[in-house]
Amino acid sequence: MSASIEIANVTKRYGTLSVLDDISLSIKPGEFVVFLGPSGCGKSTLLRMIAGLEDVTQGTIAVGDQRIDTLPPGKRGVAMVFQSYALYPHMTVAQNMSFGLENIKVPKKEIVRRVRFAAETLEIAHLLDRKPQKLSGGQRQRVAIGRAIVKEPKAFLFDEPLSNLDAALRGRTRLELAQLHTRLGSTMIFVTHDQVEAMTLADRIVVMHNRKIEQIGTPIAIYRRPATRFVAGFVGSPA
Ligand code: ADP
Ligand code: MG
């Protein structure tokens, strides 16, 4: 399942502090979009507004043909994968994945089917009975992604999911994320300040700076034809 995401004239203020100013962006169903920009430019805030973890000050957000910016997080049809994996230490891998579904009364058989599908997709079926503290960083990362997959969302939202991993694991996980996107065909938004991650993962990159979108384009277009001096400097500089 995948859906378009339409962000229209979205503004975010914390009190008098303006964080995002009049952001508009159309994401196609199944597209892999990366929000790229330096720390503090508002990437997480924009993602969290889509997820429903922050209010929108002005503007609207739609997933498919449904406006979602006034809905509670669980009703938006999107699933967020956090940077810190936020797994429950006292639950097994299987329980960590099924917990959210039990809460919304998904039938038991359906939960088992979805957990099995997610575990097989992520190649963690052999870990289902383990507790998180017995897992490596990379395995925990997969469980966190599995928790999103079982929700069968129309879009996945990733906030710097690779930044806690060492360099070798980061490269491997990046590749696996690309494969996951191919396999599921879902709409994905991925936040990072890392140009290499953006270049290798994105169908389109949204370069953010100073409360605004500086440029939206394919990795090649952004690399070859940066629209502003900022984009040229940020994308051109070595990672
Ligand atoms: P990024 O993810 O690109 O690093 P953030 O979206 O986390 O940036 O933050 C954007 C700006 O909003 C920063 O200046 C940050 O300090 C500010 N900010 C984020 N959350 C809050 C908050 N809850 N209250 C006040 N300011 C915040
Ligand atoms: Mg952030």
Q: What is the ipTM of this complex?
A: 0.98
What would the two tokens of residue 137 be?
């960083």
* Residues counted in the chain: 239
User: Which H or E element spans position 6?
Assistant: strand 5-14
The sheet carrying 204-209 orders its strands as 78-81, 155-159, 187-192, 32-36, 204-209, 212-217
Minimum CA distance residue for ligand 1 atom 20: 45
- Give ∠ CA 15-5-38 in degrees, rounded to 5: 55
Tell me which of 44, 47, 193, 208 to substitute to probe ligand 1's pocket, judged by most ligand atoms within 8 Å of the beta carbon.
44
The pTM for the full model equals: 0.94
Minimum CA distance residue for ligand 1 atom 6: 42
- Asked whether 207 lines ligand 1 (CB < 6 A), one says no
pLDDT tens digit sequence for 41-96 = 999 999 999 999 999 999 999 999 999 999 999 999 999 997 667 899 999 999 99
157, 50 contact by CB (below 8 A): yes
Alpha helices in 53-136 (DSSP H): 93-103, 108-121
Residue environment code for 73-96, b if the CB has 16+ CB neighbours within 10 A, otherwise e: eeebbbbbbbbebebeeeebbbbb
- Asked whether 39 lines ligand 1 (CB < 6 A), one says yes
